[in-house]
Structure 1
Amino acid sequence: MSDEVVGSGPILLDIDDAGVARLRLNRPEASNGLDVPLLRAFHDAVMVCHSRPGLRVLVLSGEGKHFCAGGDVKTFASKGEALPDYLREATSWLQMVVQALVNLPAPVVASVHGFAAGGGGFGLVCAADLVVAAESAKFLGGATRVGMAPDAGTTVTLPALVGLRKALEISLINPVLTAAEALDLGLLTSVAPDGELAARTDEIVGRLAAGAPRALAATKRLMWSGLGSRVEAQLPEEARTVAELSGTADAREGLAAVIERRDPTFTGG
């Protein structure tokens, strides 16, 4: 039996009697792109999970065709000269979401289909404890492609997962990674056939929910202790850099190019 904690809005959350929380990004019309209202609701939902001492597992997923395509570029582009201020607020909420996920005692499992891109999608993949992906899923850093810099702690988590050289390639060149490639690099825990993603996720969730919760929480804390402190220290610098870059001509060009489905022309301005 599930307790529907949040039943409408940009985030959906239910928690069942076994202590399994399922948090779903719910802006399918925008490929679950992140904006300030979604990020506020996301943080509130994760804090609800923090308030449940019997929580065993948190599962992250996305409604619609994609897990999360990153920031909502149409919303960003609509802000014009006010974009740096908007992104300061958005990245502040994103920082709090990532920190809350890392600090949550219960393991966090991301169940990914479609695209996982940018700070919202790719960043959440890097911040999760375990990641299960459909074999057709795609992964993209994407920040520099729109004249921005990485956020969501990925400047720390990504090198830790795949190594510095590969992290730089992913962040500077922006290759679109298949699920098989992401698995080989160490970004993922498991890949499932598209029709079996939910079943594979539930299998892993079931094993976690049946585990010793204090031992799992302690192990997660120990694994993240050094890395998590580095993420916490880096998040404000990421946010400052993103806000600073968002005021440049290249960032405006990058956002316009994504919306217009063309290659950007960067001038360094």
Structure 2
Amino acid sequence: MLTFDLNSDLGESFGPWAMGDDVAMLDIVSSANVACGFHAGDPAGILRTLQQAKAKGVVIGAHVGYRDLAGFGRRNMDPTSEELVGDVIYQIGALKGLSTAAGTRVDYVKPHGALYNTIAFDERQAADVIKAILSVDPELVLMALAGSPLIEQARVAGLRVVAEAFADRAYTADGKLVSRREKGAVLHDPDVVAQRMLRLVREGVVQSITGTDARVEAQSICVHGDSPDAVSMAARLRAVFAEEGVSIRSFVAEGHA
């Protein structure tokens, strides 16, 4: 049976402001990218999400981002190397502490939003994030954009890397994400998304926005937790995978179940 990781961004609620449905998503995904408080999430809510993930046997990743609550971490920033290394170490450390309290652990790091997109191609900021991860725990896995130079840079530095594809995003003919500013960049139909991801798992390709097949080499699929269609999309994807003999399982071999 084929196996594939399914992840989602969780723990992003802040006080009375709710973002996504963590409880429902944790019944579907195998890995959870949990906010660390810089782009979203408050400590009590993050701890609650970690406790729920522990109960479901879902693997935890630190969803580190720029220090940008107002912009939800989606605004481009240019911190110094000293600042960025410190910020990433701080966020991983905070989530490690909360995870220990919840009886689970942090197994990987997935940068969020603008930081994720920047380090995919910016060698200096990528090096800062890699340095921060290695200094905290070299056993942590880095989740990175499929096809990006970051993957080789991190592997050369000694990190294990998992490449990620996005279920709810359109791709260009050369396998890059279509900018959110362009029409059709974000997908909403659960059946379309499920069938696209089934081809990705089986053939390593997705249909690009121009209609041609684009090769995307990935080991994990993300469904954005803040999408209004997130739960139905993830549930449909998991159901189609089950029907077609694909098992949802984290890239962390032993899992936490």
Q: TM-score, normalised by structure 1?
A: 0.35
Structure with the larger RCO, 1 or 2 (CA within 8 Å, 6+ apart): 2
Structure showing greater radius of gyration is: 1
TM-score, length-normalised on structure 2? 0.36
Higher helix share: 1
